[in-house]
Structure 1
Amino acid sequence: MTCRQLGGPCDLELSADTADEIIKAQDRHLREAARSGDQDHVPAHEEMKGRWKHPVKAMGWYRNTKKAFAALP
C-alpha cells in the first residue's frame, strides 16, 4: 500500500504481511518524515498521533484499512 492509500501525502510504497504491520509501517514513515522536516507529512502525522483520541472514528479508519489491505492482490 502507498502512504497516500493510508491517508498520507505521498506515493511511497510500504509493504508488510498483515494490515497491522502496514499500519505500523505507515506510522513509522509519517513520524520519520515529520521529524526530518517534511511539512507535507506533518498534518498526516498529527492525525495519526491523535487518532485514538476519537476511538469511534479511529476504529472506522482501522476497519477500512484492514479491508483495503485484504482486498490487495
Structure 2
Amino acid sequence: MKTMTCRQLGGPCDLEHRGESADDVINAQDKHLKDAEKAGDEAHLPARKEMKGRWRHPKKSLGWYKDMKQAFADLPES
C-alpha cells in the first residue's frame, strides 16, 4: 500500500490517497476532485478541469499518466 497526496497528483491540498496501484490513487483523486467540485471548492476547480481533460483525451495525457505511475512506483511502501 502506498500513499500520494492530492498535491502530488496535481491538486491544491494534502489529502492522502492510499492504494495498491497508481490507478487506485488516480481514481481516488478523480473522486476527490469531483466531490470538491460538487461542494463548490474553488481551489480544486483547475485540477478538476485538468483531470476531466485527461479522461477525455487519454492518448494526449499519456505523459502525465506515465509520470504518476513512476512517482507511485518510486514511493516506499506505507
Task: Identify the TM-score tier after normalising by the shorter chain.
Answer: over 0.9
SS in 2 for 1:48: helix
Identity among equivalent pairs (%): 57
SS in 1 for 2:17: coil
Tell me the alpha carbon deviations over residues 2-59 of structure 1, each in whole angstroms, 9 at most, x when there is no partner: 0000000001111011011110000000000111010000110011101233733x10
- 1:55 aligned residue: 59
Runs of 5+ consecutive residues of structure 2 not aligned to the other structure: none
How many pairs were matched up? Answer: 72
44, 68, 72: which one aligns with 2:71: 68
CA distance in 1, matches of 2:19, 2:57: 26
**Bigger strand fraction:** 2
In the alignment, does 2:37 pair up with 1:40?
no
Task: List structure 1 segments (4+ residues) > 4 angstroms apart after TM superposition.
Answer: none
Highest RCO, 1 vs 2 (Cα 8 Å, sep ≥ 6): 2
